[in-house]
Amino acid sequence: MTTQPTPPAADTVEEAKQKEPSALSKAIKGDPDDRTGAGWFVKGMLLIISALWLVPTVGLLVSSFRTQAAVNSSGWWTAFFNPAEFTVQNYGEVLQQSVGGSTLAEAFINSIVVAVPATIIPITAAAFAAYAFSWMEFKGRETLFIVFVVLLVIPLQVAFIPIVNLYSTLGIQGTFLGLWLAHAGFGMPLAVYLLRNYIGSLPREVIESARVDGASHFTTFVRLILPLSVPALAAFAIFQFLWTWNDYLVALILLDTARLGQVSTTYLAGMIGTFGARQHLLSAGAFITILVPLAVFFSLQRFFIRGLTAGSVKG
């Protein structure tokens, strides 16, 4: 007498499906059973795109080590056939030069003074707002959130005249405080949008268990939400810091550089001259100024994708 095989349990089937790699993961990682070569194709395309993306950066790096005459007379790729063109004099000149009464070291310090508070202020405010939009019930919550999202389409340039008039009335025109508030205000819509999507995707059971234990909203936010939201906070911190560090127009209009000194972007603009005659110095100065953004990005990159994609898929 033969026995019929017992059908697998439903939960066992579901677990097997979850463990089975998806088609996308097979294509990216290269499934050994994949006979179409899709994995190698994706890797090859990514390699080609990355190489093309790096070409301008490599050209800028090579130009930073070339003399002014070589930069003005030939393309950067010709330097590989004439090693005598390479020099480190550009970097020495950039570090020693003074623009508008400021050195590059002073411009670096001013950029940090601007970028760090302009990153911390919107992150702090947006984190509280995102928690309120996600887990607090109040009238007009959805409408107010839509208003925040709509503010993303408003460019900063259209608000310069009202901001300057308001700052002049308040007496903060040309100060670091005015620059912090401008960057924070126009960074808030993106911060609220990103953080709300992430915080709203956190497990409801965690929030409800804190409420059962008698935790207030503030305690829940500080003890639970903030530690769990580190990926989203880091992702926005990268965006905001890079924007404020690389900003030129806002600093040029809202900061009194004659009294407080230059930031790195205005320093580089003044260094190359009115007609861009010293482009070899611009390339050297650009590579010096990107050291801080690179350090910030690589230190937080492991949170970057997690913070951007969290909340995009439910279930």
Mark whether 143 and 169 lie in a shared domain: yes
Taking a C-beta distance cutoff of 8 angstroms, is the pair 99, 270 a contact? Answer: yes
DSSP string, 33-87: T--S-HHHHHHHHHHHHHHHHHHHHHHHHHHTTB-HHHHHHS-GGGGGG-GGGB-
CB atoms closer than 10 angstroms to residue 99: 21
In a domain, 11, yes or no: no
Mark whether 88 and 106 lie in a shared domain: no
Mark whether 284 and 188 lie in a shared domain: yes
Q: Which amino acid, one-letter code, is at 230?
A: V
Judged by DSSP in three states, 117 sits in helix
Strand partners, 102: 99
Taking a C-beta distance cutoff of 8 angstroms, is the pair 257, 266 a contact? Answer: yes
Specify the number of domains making up the chain. Answer: 2
**In angstroms, how far is CA 205 from the centroid of its own chain?**
31
In a domain, 275, yes or no: yes
Mark whether 137 and 165 lie in a shared domain: yes
Mark whether 117 and 27 lie in a shared domain: no
Cα torsion angle, 46, 50, 53, 59, sign = negative
Domain CATH code at residue 219: 1.10.3720.10
Q: One digit per residue, pLDDT tens: the chain, 315 residues? A: 445 555 444 444 445 444 555 544 554 455 555 555 567 888 888 889 988 988 888 888 888 888 878 877 878 888 788 877 788 888 888 888 777 777 888 888 999 999 999 999 999 999 999 999 988 888 888 888 888 888 888 888 888 889 999 999 998 998 999 999 999 988 888 889 888 888 888 888 888 888 888 888 888 888 888 888 888 888 888 889 988 998 988 998 998 888 888 898 888 888 776 555 667 778 888 888 888 888 887 877 776 666 555 544 444
pTM (predicted TM-score): 0.74
**In angstroms, how far is CA 19 from the centroid of its own chain?**
33
Range of the domain at 229: 97-309
Give the Cα separation of 136 and 142 in Å (integer).
Answer: 11
Phi-psi region for residue 160, left (φ > 0), alpha (ψ -120 to 50) or beta? alpha
Mark whether 36 and 114 lie in a shared domain: no
Mark whether 74 and 211 lie in a shared domain: no
Mark whether 147 and 210 lie in a shared domain: yes
